[in-house]
Structure 1
């Protein structure tokens, strides 16, 4: 088998000689790496020759269906293993229903998706209002919330409806992310959702009742309590244009993302990189 050095030398020779080498010949040196490390080095060499002014911050060829993920400082793109085809855009894993690009972008810049989040995720309902990039969390009442998760972790305020499928899926990701959740029910599905929210809020153990509600189990009759704070949750959501559920708000600064997010994305959003004051 051709050694890594000889493959790299052949690629360099092909480019240095004016590129008058067929794609088939060039590919013979790039497409048969000795191992995973050899593949990465081959792709890196090919990128450096084709895009000499593009610095390669990181390169990952595992888990992208034959493509390689390339990070160049704050820029993210994908390239095939022969470095012939370059793709810029969203890459989705249809089996796991994961947005692979969003997770990496949030890792590179946690605030990057805040303003555009509402256009990227499906909603349980629609509204004519426009969601704000940041909201004043100080306007929220102390009541009307169920606290659960890692109490020592960064706090996220989650607006949800217990009949919302994406909200149910989100609870598992929030657990994995290790965050402190302040969950505020809003009733986008009407009277039945409001009744369920009241049962959860008035339960002896609201956190346990919350997870029971998401499981679809019937909640035991709870004592009556003041549920006006649920009205305040809904008024806040309407005022700031929340068009569906779930909506995640970073408690530290009021930054907003709408829709389902995976644990890695949640962690990145909850722990934004420190930036110098401007």
Structure 2
């Protein structure tokens, strides 16, 4: 009797797994037809029955199991009040920044580091300049600041050319500080990560600069004073 039950349970399990893969394949096939140029990083069941979670870079959207309907937005657990989508997005952002690597960032480090942020910056943005004018205050709070470029005027603009010139300077940190004060950097070109930075900012759905990304991948749009930022980062570290 036990053997019969065991065999039946295995059969049901196998049927479920087979159906799951069939649904996953349906989603992949539908998306491949609708969006052939989009590279899917993962397709897996979401917390909602009949809906699949699709990861594309640092973005998440949801697709019905038959592949007919696509949903954009955040999935929230009403019982726990947890934004499930944002939790996964923060992890994706962190992974994306790790992939860029610190070798492709301009970094200002404190003597004793407690926290770390990545900042998408535009050399000609007023609040970006305000943030950098207070860089010593951020460093005094133990915050490592990693800069990536996001010239909002787009590729080929004056801000873009300044970003490239700063990156190609002999002393990038000094060149960035000078440019933030209003000096026009000596025009230079070289292999640079500016386009990669810009694409990542778009993937993060940046709406302006500065865009601060915390160590855990959470977004803080706009300028945040050093002491206030340190408190936010302290609270973030304290959370499990």
Tell me: CA distance 1:207–1:276, structure 2 relative to 1, closer, same or farther (3 Å). closer
Q: Is the contact between residue 157 and residue 183 of structure 1 (CA under 8 Å) also seen in structure 2?
A: yes
CA separation in 1, counterparts of 2:160 and 2:214?
24
> 1:251-274 CA deviation, whole Å, 9 max, x = no partner?
2x1111001111211111232265
Q: Paired residues, what number? A: 145
1:236 Cα deviation (Å)?
A: 1.1
Counterpart of 1:138?
A: 95
1:151 Cα deviation (Å)?
A: 5.6
Tell me: CA distance 1:151–1:197, structure 2 relative to 1, closer, same or farther (3 Å). farther
Tell me: CA distance 1:193–1:151, structure 2 relative to 1, closer, same or farther (3 Å). farther
CA separation in 1, counterparts of 2:111 and 2:197?
22
Q: Which runs of 4+ in 1 moved over 6 A?
A: none
Tell me: CA distance 1:276–1:237, structure 2 relative to 1, closer, same or farther (3 Å). closer
More helix by share: 2
Counterpart of 1:196?
A: 162
Instruction: Give the match's secondary structure for 2:162.
Output: helix
Q: Is the contact between residue 119 and residue 211 of structure 2 (CA under 8 Å) also seen in structure 1?
A: yes
TM-score where L is the length of structure 2: 0.55
Gaps of 5+ in 1: 1-128
Counterpart of 1:181?
A: 145
Counterpart of 2:110?
A: 150
CA separation in 2, counterparts of 1:159 and 1:269?
18
CA separation in 2, counterparts of 1:173 and 1:138?
28
1:155 Cα deviation (Å)?
A: 1.3
CA separation in 2, counterparts of 1:225 and 1:265?
37
Gaps of 5+ in 2: 1-72, 75-85
CA separation in 1, counterparts of 2:144 and 2:135?
8
The residue correspondences of 1:64-143 to structure 2 (distance < 5 A) are: 134=90, 135-140=92-97, 141-142=100-101, 143=103
Higher-Rg member (1/2)? 1
Instruction: Give the match's secondary structure for 1:272.
Output: helix
Tell me: CA distance 1:205–1:242, structure 2 relative to 1, closer, same or farther (3 Å). same
CA separation in 2, counterparts of 1:254 and 1:260?
17
TM-score where L is the length of structure 1: 0.48
Q: Which has the higher contact order (CA 8 A, sep 6+)?
A: 1
Tell me: CA distance 1:274–1:161, structure 2 relative to 1, closer, same or farther (3 Å). closer
Cα RMSD over matched residues?
A: 2.4
Q: Does 1:272 align with 2:229?
A: no
